[in-house]
Amino acid sequence: MSKLTRREWGRLALGGLAAAGARSAAARPAAAAQRRINSRFKGVLLGAQSYSFRDMSLDDMLGAMAEIGIGSCELWAGHLEPKEVIYKSWGAKDEKVRADARAELRRWRLETPLSLFREARAKFDRAGVDLYAFNYSMSDDFTDAEMEQGFRMARALGAKVMTASSNVSTARRIDAFARKYRMRVGLHNHSNNDDPNALSTPDSFARALAGRSSYININLDIGHFTAANWDALDFLRKNHRRVVTLHIKDRKRNQGDNVPFGQGDTPIKETLALLRANRWPIPANIEYEYEGADTVTEVRRCFDYCKEALGV
């Protein structure tokens, strides 16, 4: 998931919320409730980061995934948390409005009953979609209580792993809770090489994992890694045992834009071929972020591109 600018968050808040619910969950195939959708091809599990469907509600997102045929999901917390508060905490021009929204989001996390997350898991089961990972981005401004609550949420969801856009300095605190809850956490990278506390370079990953337990792992975004001018294939070969999920997107080098699959510099086909050849059990999660048309149409195009790359 990208670290969006305030302007981009504001655009999502206006356009995304208006578009939410455009596709009814009623469009979900009736058979989806009786079967588990299989999106493993040639041994490679193709899934989706639900941020791809950020303009949809949870129900509509699940309907869209079933319609496309994607059976594995990395759930973005924004599909459960109040989006309007998230957008304000990131995008409000007024500093006090941002601070108040951040405090409100923290209260929501600490006070919302875990039954909401168990109910969400039941929706996944009915849709035939496996909730593989829960994306809860823990950074330096998280209190210990807020951080631990994320692990409780992940347990209630029945997620196998967590992913987190985080900081190098936060890894130690995350590790303490990861060991307590016996939950693997994949730290997610962006492309901001200039920030020494950001996860963006091979060295920053090495520093974040140094001295940490085996519960602290990597959620490698190959698009961001490429935009930051690093070699995603070389990094994956060397670190695949610590990679719990991949984010599949296409970006151009030199901090280039997100673009439709196949139009950038990211080695998507080569990455999928590497997973297939080595049978590494790493989900390849599509993350649709470029400027496109209808969300379902664009995610389907990404999915079809990946299937074709695998020879399906």
First to last CA, the chain: 27
Average pLDDT over residues 256-275: 98
> Rounded to an integer, what distance in angstroms lies between the CA atom of residue 189 and that of residue 83?
22
Please compute the mean of the pLDDT values over residues 5-17 and round it to a whole number: 43
- Residue 57 falls in which region: left (phi positive, over 0), alpha (psi -120 to 50) or beta: beta
Q: What is the dihedral of CA 110, 84, 77, 52, to 10 degrees?
A: 180
CA-CA-CA-CA torsion sign (44, 154, 144, 213):
negative
DSSP state letter for 12: I
Strand boundaries in 80-226, DSSP class E: 130-135, 161-165, 184-188, 216-221
CA distance 176 to 50: 27
CB burial readout 108-128, b (16+ within 10 A) else e: ebeeeeeeebeebeeebeebb
How far apart, in whole angstroms, are the C-alpha atoms of residue 144 and residue 94? 27
pLDDT above 80 (res 29): no
Average pLDDT over residues 220-232: 98
Q: Which amino acid is at 248?
A: I
pLDDT of residue 32: 41
In the predicted model, is pLDDT for residue 28 greater than 60?
no
Q: Give this prediction's pTM.
A: 0.90
Give the closest residue to 287 by CA, choosing from 207, 201, 221.
221
Domains of the chain: 22-82+113-309 (3.20.20.150)
Q: How confident is the model over 215-231, as a mean pLDDT?
A: 98
> Which of the residue ranges 57-71, 89-103, 237-251 would you say has the lowest mean pLDDT?
89-103
- Confidence label for 26 from pLDDT (cuts 50, 70 and 90): very low
Could you read off the pLDDT of 116-126 as tens digits, one per residue? 999 999 999 99
What whole-number distance in Å separates Cα of residue 194 and Cα of residue 299?
31
Contact 243, 281 (CB under 8 A): no
- The CB density around residue 291, as the number of other CB atoms within 10 Å, is 9
Give CA–CA dist 165/138, Å, rounded: 7
Overall size of the chain counted in residues: 312
